[in-house]
Amino acid sequence: MRVLVTGATGFIGQSFIPFLLKKGVTVRVLVRGLRQNGFPSEVEQYIGDLTNADSLKGAAADVDVLFHLGGHAHAWKEKDEEAINKHTAVNFMGTQNILNEGIRAGIKKFIFFSTIKAVADTEKCIDEKWDTQPNTPYGKAKRAAEEWVLNNCNQHAVHACILRLPLIYGPGVKGNLYQMLQSIDKGYFPAIPFTKNQRSLVGIYDVCEAAWLAAQSIQANGKVYFVTDNQSYSTHDIYSIMRHALGKSHPWFYFPFWLFKILALVGDAVGSALRRRIPFDSQAFDKLFGTVYCDSSCIQEELGFCPQYSLRELMPEIVRAYRG
């Protein structure tokens, strides 16, 4: 079996490529420039850009399964118009470009790594029946790409499966979890009070297994699955797990919850006066204390997916990789 992986240089790809090689498949990766030390020697590198359809010609030649990890993550510094343009170009049109090339080349299966943000946020625990449209540029672009993938794969008899992923943890983690870990380690992350919010997370190795099952199971064709580690974490839980793995004792004082609310309102006012976002405002408050909780029982029942890791179990490995 030959597979093509986009986004292979990212956080997921760093674990997914070794996972695929252990499965005995032939791996080709799409990269924007050759990397001398980035991949094992048996990995074939193909130079191309998701936003340039012409550069993708030949990328999927003789490929059986296309794993589409590539995309543009949301960044808080982006202005709305800039964010919309980037997410549309990469997450929507880039997905169109690579799938079109895959269909032209005759791929059999397309596995799309999407996001829990492809549906609207809610305080409820959601599953695949929750179909409310997203309200962020990132979520809208991913949702549009999901729908386009399912429609076009169905028209061309290509097996398609979409994995909606929450925050992913594991060695080499990036983004919000990395920033939180680094801030706690350096001693300037505020002591988080006990909170009742609920967050779904998933370990990187379980993501790899879920993607493999999605490609192997006939039942996965045309399906959308949420993938989690079956745990529910509050912000305080995540904070405490990180502190413990870093070898730090529990703080003697926790900042009250209302103080974070006040700081967020102050951040809104300052940001409005400066006409730009500052690091802590209501959006940052919602990311820190909001509920983003989903049920992954569907992929477990239909594909036999069984998560093997929790944040607490993988955090020592994450810290070792972080300290390098």
DSSP class of 47: E
pTM: 0.94
Task: Spell out the domain ranges in the chain.
Answer: 2-235+289-323
In degrees, rounded to 5, the angle at the alpha carbon of residue 227 between the alpha carbons of residues 113 and 59 is 20
Residue whose token pair is 């994450």 = 318
DSSP β-ladder status, 293-294 and 44-47: unpaired
Task: Using DSSP, state whether 112 is helix, strand or coil.
Answer: strand
Dihedral Cα 141, 199, 177, 136, nearest 10 deg: 20
**Strand ordering across the sheet containing 2-6:** 44-47, 26-31, 2-6, 65-68, 109-115, 159-165, 223-226
Give the span between the Cα atoms of 224 and 78, in whole angstroms: 29
Q: What token pair was written down for 133?
A: 């449209």
Each residue's pLDDT, cut to its tens digit, for the chain (324 residues) gives: 999 999 999 999 999 999 999 999 999 999 998 876 789 999 999 999 999 999 999 999 999 999 999 999 876 566 678 888 999 999 999 999 999 999 999 999 999 999 999 999 898 999 999 989 998 899 999 999 999 999 999 999 999 999 999 999 999 999 999 999 999 999 999 999 999 999 999 999 999 999 999 999 999 999 999 999 999 999 999 999 999 999 999 898 899 999 999 999 999 999 999 888 888 999 889 989 999 999 999 999 999 999 999 999 999 999 999 998
Q: Taking the domain 2-235+289-323, which CATH number applies?
A: 3.40.50.720
Phi, psi of 30 (to 5 degrees): -95, 120
Strand partners, 233: 199
CA 223 to chain centre: 18
Q: Exposure of 244 by Cβ count < 10 A (0-12 exposed, 13-18 middle, 19+ buried)?
A: middle
For residue 197, count other CB atoms closer than 10 A to its CB: 18
Taking a C-beta distance cutoff of 8 angstroms, is the pair 226, 167 a contact? Answer: no
The enclosing H or E element of 4 equals: strand 2-6
Find the farthest-apart pair of alpha carbons in the chain and give their distance in angstroms, rounded: 61
Would you state the pLDDT for residue 76?
58
Number of H helices, E strands in the chain: 11, 11
Residues 6 or more apart from 217 whose CB is under 8 A from it? 302, 303, 304
Dihedral Cα 159, 165, 168, 170, nearest 10 deg: -20
Would you state the pLDDT for residue 84?
85
Taking a C-beta distance cutoff of 8 angstroms, is the pair 96, 148 a contact? Answer: yes
Taking a C-beta distance cutoff of 8 angstroms, is the pair 158, 108 a contact? Answer: yes
- HEC string for 170-183: CCCCCHHHHHHHHH
Q: What token pair was written down for 200?
A: 């779904």
Instruction: Please tell me the total number of residues recorded for the chain in this structure.
Output: 324
Q: Nearest CA to 245 among 197, 185, 176?
A: 185
Taking a C-beta distance cutoff of 8 angstroms, is the pair 107, 59 a contact? Answer: no
Strand partners, 47: 31
